[in-house]
A and B are shown apart, each in its own frame.
Chain A
Amino acid sequence: MRDLIRRILDWVDHRTGFETAVKNFLYEDIPASSGWHQVFGSIALFLFFVQAFTGVLLAFNYAPQPGDAYHSLQYIVSEITGGRLIRGLHHWGSSLMVVVVGLHMIQVALWGAYKKPREATWILGVLLLLLVLAFGLTGYLLPWDNRAYWATVVTIQIAGLVPLFGEYILEFLGGAEGVGVSTFTRFYTLHVLMLPALTVLLMMLHIHLVRKHGVTPSPRAIGQPKKKFYPGQAFKDLMAFFAVFILLFVLAATVDVPLEGLADPSDSTYVPRPEWYFLFLFQTLKFFEGRWEVVGAVILPTLAVLALLAVPFLDRAKVKRIQQRTLAFAVVGLVLAGWLALTVAAFLTTPEPVESARETSPPAADWRFLTPVELAGRAYFQREKCAGCHNLAEGEPKMGPTLATVSHRKSAEWLMEHFKNPSEVVPGSPMPTMTISDDELTCLAAFVLKLTPGNATALEVVPDYAMRGAVIYHESQCASCHVVNGSGEESGPPLNGVGQRRTAQWLEDHFRDPQKFDPQSVMPPYDFPPDDMKAIVDYMKALPPASE
């Protein structure tokens, strides 16, 4: 059996050279000084494979269209086996990639491994760092939630600041008309087609150069016998992969990656924040005002990249032992301290999400405290089957957003526009256009605006008679003379408490012929059909007594 496998392998190797190539790779000579400090490049390569693997898996169930992107991601994380884990791996993998690439660069900088003849290896490395950041930037938009949308609005604005080329960059990123369908498609294409291809190409060149020049030996190791990559260093690399992988897996399995509400371009209260590794840039921006903004947004970052590229040409001294590279330590330390200070400052100045404003609106504990207009809106919510796609309170996830958690950020005007033209107000919204009258839409908007996480559960249950009664009340324009729950004109008596003072029969008779009870009354008679009469009388009886 062994013999047969050997013969097959020999046959394949003779025709492809595959086994020889693998052996050459594994039995590469490395300096005696190699060790644990040289595992970071390999980890970055490993993480790239993890990202590619999880990214392809995500793409299997992801719909690259605004709106659908959000819903399909929601489907991935809530319905599909392992979907939450795979998204977690991809999300945290990207953060770890930034960390590992950073550590890799720091290691190379401290050891001075960029020196002649390895300048090109370093430059390719800097370009790979930029690609990693570009992955982060483009991937951030793809969930198409509020966070993604607003962070990208800022990114696009910054891109537009670039002198001379700003307009072209905006055009290229599909952001000339603001963030929308074209931005999304461009970001998606960059993220899943162009950046991976570029990264693979540059990684191959980078690794080719590493092998061409060999791993940088420490000065002491020069002249010492070399060792083989396999199995000693391969073991160290793999242990490092394992440690990173365990960390990644634990993060993905235990820390939920947020998926906020569907992207909402009308939400002016949203405070966008970039991913943590961009916070230093975000903080830098705050120091430059007005026409100086371009300095923080474009010029300084460009200079920083140029400085990184120039490192091997600035430091051309002979290779020294790491213990003697005090200047390198000082520079790296300074850069890290600056980065850390900016990042911490950005964290500290991040305001709490705006959530408190909603507490001030008068509470409506249950349906009895809604105004008739709001309650009629609740009736239309039922009639139009809004509950097919929307929850009032958090519950089993539905296609549309949970209304209690999004309504406080909306205005009545916005809601009206949205009802009439859902996909124009929220790009990609699959909500059908509502074809009911403006008057009914106004009620619906009033009801939606009344929702809070505190009352939404109670408002899920409203008896039919109350909704029907409120609709009759509203359609008969009772509010032009009467107040219920603080809403309406005061020319007639307020109706809170009337149900406690009068019998149902009295109310019914009064509706049919008000003047029979008070000859001076200006109220017109209302001869409702029996069912309607019962509904509005029951509704009147159920109103809470006046509080004063």
Chain B
Amino acid sequence: MGKDPQSSSRRTFYQRMIYGVSSLIAASLTIPAVGYLFPSRRKGDGQKGWTDAGDVSALPLNEPRELAFQRKRVDGWKTSTERSTAWVVRTERELIAFSPRCTHLGCGYHWETDSDRFVCPCHTSGFSMTGEVLEGPAPRPLDRFETRTEGNRLWLGGVRPISENGGQ
């Protein structure tokens, strides 16, 4: 192979075409595949809109309660209504609704009246009534729902992580 210059240049041409064309085919398959597997999605698309979380007129001052409600969820090709909860506290200043997931690794936490704090049983993170981290590995204060009240009813919007102004 490739002894005289002509067949050697033909060989080079073949090789270049082989590399070029196979790269082209591979690219035209992988580029759509990447778009397909990592579709661009607006954040929070799965749970948009406001949800009625129930009547909060009986909510006592400074005593967190877990409210359960039905929430619409868009999950791939399915739109379903599922049970969801929020920890709600009425403080002197405001009505706060926390997302029920610990900000560490997403476990469910609960309020402990004795120690006056939210405690996550997974890795013993503790949070104050207004969500600040008191102990444990949690990296940020509890996430809050956007809230609005209509009469006695509490409406919840999307979940917003609280960073700098967490403790208020």
Contacts and interface: CB of A to CB of B under 8 A. Distances in A.
Contact of A57 (B24, B37, B39): B37
A86 B36 contact: yes
Given A74-B77, A235-B14, A82 B28 contact: no
B36 A231 contact: no
B37 A238 contact: no
Interface stretch (B15-23, B105-113, B122-130, B155-163): B15-23
Contacts of B14: 231-232, 234-235
B18 A231 contact: yes
Given A231-B18, A242-B25, A249-B28, A82 B35 contact: yes
B44 interface: no
A107 B40 CA distance: 46
A247 interface: no
Contacts of A74: 77
A80 B18 contact: no
Interface string A53-86: 1100100110100001001101100011111011
A54 B28 CA distance: 12
B18 A57 contact: no
Given A61-B76, A81-B36, A245-B28, A231 B11 contact: yes
B29 interface: yes
Contacts of B37: 57, 60
A460 B88 CA distance: 41
Pick from B22, B28, B77 the residue with the most CB of A within 10 Å: B77
A5 B29 CA distance: 28
Pick from B22, B35, B76 the residue with the most CB of A within 10 Å: B76
B29 A68 contact: no
Interface in B1-31: 1, 11, 14-15, 17-18, 21-22, 24-25, 28-29
B28 A72 contact: no
A53 B40 contact: no
Nearest to A252: B32
Interface in A198-257: 228, 231-232, 234-235, 238-239, 241-242, 245, 249
Nearest to B36: A82
B32 A86 contact: yes
B36 A57 contact: yes
B76 A231 contact: no
B99 to A, nearest CB: 26
A50 interface: yes
B43 to A, nearest CB: 16
Interface in B109-160: none
B132 to A, nearest CB: 40
Instruction: Categorize the interface residue count of chain A.
Output: 20 to 34
Interface in B33-66: 33, 35-37, 39-40
B6 to A, nearest CB: 14
B70 interface: no
Instruction: Categorize the interface residue count of chain B.
Output: 20 to 34
Contacts, number: 67
Given A71-B77, A72-B77, A228-B1, A85 B32 contact: yes
Nearest to B37: A60
Nearest to A388: B79
Given A231-B11, A242-B25, A245-B25, A81 B35 contact: yes
A73 to B, nearest CB: 8
Contacts of A57: 33, 36-37
Contacts of B22: 238
Contacts of B79: 399
Interface string A19-48: 000000000000000000000000000000
B78 interface: yes
A61 B11 CA distance: 43
A89 B25 CA distance: 13
A234 B15 CA distance: 9
Contacts of B36: 57, 60-61, 80-83, 86
B28 to A, nearest CB: 6
Contacts of B78: 68, 71, 430
Nearest to A53: B29
A85 B32 CA distance: 8
Interface in B67-94: 76-79
A402 to B, nearest CB: 17
A238 B21 contact: yes
Contacts of A228: 1
A235 B17 contact: yes
Contacts of B24: 242
Given A63-B77, A72-B77, A81-B35, A239 B21 contact: yes
Contacts of A234: 14, 18
Nearest to A399: B79
Contacts of B11: 231
Nearest to A234: B18
Nearest to B29: A53
A75 B76 contact: yes
Nearest to B11: A231
Nearest to A63: B77
A86 B32 CA distance: 8
Contacts of A75: 76-77
B32 A235 contact: no
Contacts of B35: 81-82
Interface in A73-113: 74-75, 79-83, 85-86, 89
Contacts of B21: 238-239, 241-242
B144 to A, nearest CB: 29
A315 to B, nearest CB: 36
Contacts of A245: 25, 28
Contacts of A68: 77-78
B39 A80 contact: yes
Contacts of A72: 76-77
B120 to A, nearest CB: 33
Interface of B: 1, 11, 14-15, 17-18, 21-22, 24-25, 28-29, 32-33, 35-37, 39-40, 76-79
25 contacts: A53-B29, A54-B29, A60-B36, A60-B37, A72-B77, A74-B77, A75-B76, A81-B32, A82-B35, A83-B36, A85-B32, A86-B32, A86-B33, A86-B36, A89-B29, A231-B15, A232-B14, A235-B14, A238-B18, A239-B17, A239-B21, A245-B25, A249-B28, A399-B79, A430-B78
Given A75-B77, A82-B36, 5 more contacts: A60-B37, A81-B39, A82-B35, A238-B21, A239-B17
Q: Would you list the 3 A-B pairs with minimal beta carbon distance, nearest first?
A: A75-B77, A82-B32, A81-B35
